[in-house]
Structure 1
Amino acid sequence: MTMRLACSFAAFLLVLPLSSMAREVGEVDTAFKWVGPNHKIMIEAFDDPVVEGVTCYLSRAKTGGVKGGLGLAEDRAEASIACRQVGPIRFKEEFKNGEVVFKERTSLVFKSMQVVRFHDKDRNSLIYLVYSDKVIDGSPQNGVTAVPIMPWPGQ
C-alpha cells in the first residue's frame, strides 16, 4: 500500500510541470450546483513546448459541486482539441512520435488527460491526440487535430 501511494505521489509530481503551461481562455457553465462550483466546460490554450509556432486549444469538462470545489471529483474523459499554426514553425529539438506535450490530472490521483504529438513526415503535418488515461483502465474517448507545416508569410 505504501509503495502504491509513493508511486502515485511521484506520478502526480511529474504532471505538475506540464499542466502549468496551459492558460485558461474561458469557460461555460453546463449544470447549476447549489453547493460548490457549477459543472463547466473549460477552454485552455497552450503552446507546444518543442515546436515553435503551434498553439493548441483544448476544451474539457470540469466537475463542480462540493467534490469538484475541493479537487476530489473525477472529471469526465471527454475532451476536444484544435491546434493551429500561429507563426513560423521551428523544431527546437528532436522529438519522438507519441511524446507527451501536455498533461493534466482529472482526478485526485489515478486519472489524467494528456495530449501527445506525432510528426507525419510523408504529409508534412503535425498530429495532436488528446485522450484520458487511468492507472488501471484508460478511456477510448479521444480527439485528434492536424497542423500542416506551411511557410509563414514574410518568412
Structure 2
Amino acid sequence: MLKWIAAAALVATPAVADMVGQVGVDWVGNDIIIEAIADPDVQGVTCHLAYFDRSVIDRLSQGNWFEDPSNSAIECARTGPIRIGDIRRGPKGEDVFSASRSLIFKSLRVKRIYDEQNQVLVYLVHAEQVKQGSAKMSISTVALEPGEALPAR
C-alpha cells in the first residue's frame, strides 16, 4: 500500500527546475536566469526557460518590491529517447511547471499541449495573473517520431 501512495505522489509532482545559467544585464544587479526543466510525463524532453530576475536595488528604486516582470522565453529539445506517459489531450493541455513571480497574484507557467494531428508536443510559457492577464508568452515545439506518438483515441 505504501508503495502505491509513494508512486502516486511521484506522478503528481510537478517538474523541478535546475538553474544552469545566470547572466548579469546591468549595473544594479538584475539578471537573466536560465533553468532546465525536464518534462515529468515525457521522458527525453528538456525545456530551458529564461526569465528576468530583479535585484534588490531595482526593487527599491522602482517601488514594486514584490513582483518580477512577466518576460520569459522557452526552448525545448529532445534529450534522449522519448517515452510519453499519461498526458492530457485536448487544446487546454496541462501544466508542466509553475513558479511564483509575485507575492500573491502572478505565476510563471509552462504548459504542454499535444498537437495530435501533427504529432508535436507544444510547450508554452506565459504569466498567469489574477488581474490583467499577460500577453507575454513564448512557445517551443518537439516533433515526435512515428513510434513515439500517442495512439489515436
Match of 1:74 among 67, 71, 78: 67
How high is the sequence identity, in percent, across the aligned residues? 35
Q: How many angstroms apart in 1 are the aligned matches of 2:81 and 2:146? A: 7
CA deviation after TM superposition for structure 1 residue 73, in Å: 3.0
TM-score by length of 1: 0.76
Residue 88 of structure 2 is matched in structure 1 by: 95
Cα RMSD of the aligned pairs, angstroms, is 2.1
Structure 1: which 5+ runs fail to align? 1-16
1:43 aligns with 2:34: yes
CA deviation after TM superposition for structure 1 residue 65, in Å: 1.6
Residue correspondences, number: 129
1:62 aligns with 2:53: yes
Residue 151 of structure 2 is matched in structure 1 by: none
1:107 aligns with 2:105: no
Residue type at the aligned position of 1:46: I
Residue 10 of structure 2 is matched in structure 1 by: none
CA deviation after TM superposition for structure 1 residue 75, in Å: 0.8
**Structure with the largest fraction of helix:** 1
Residue type at the aligned position of 2:76: C
Residue 31 of structure 1 is matched in structure 2 by: 26
Residue type at the aligned position of 2:86: E
TM-score by length of 2: 0.77
Task: Map residues 9-24 of structure 1 onto 2, 5 A cutoff.
Answer: 18=14, 21-24=16-19
Structure 2: which 5+ runs fail to align? 1-12, 148-153
Q: How many angstroms apart in 1 are the aligned matches of 2:69 and 2:141? A: 24
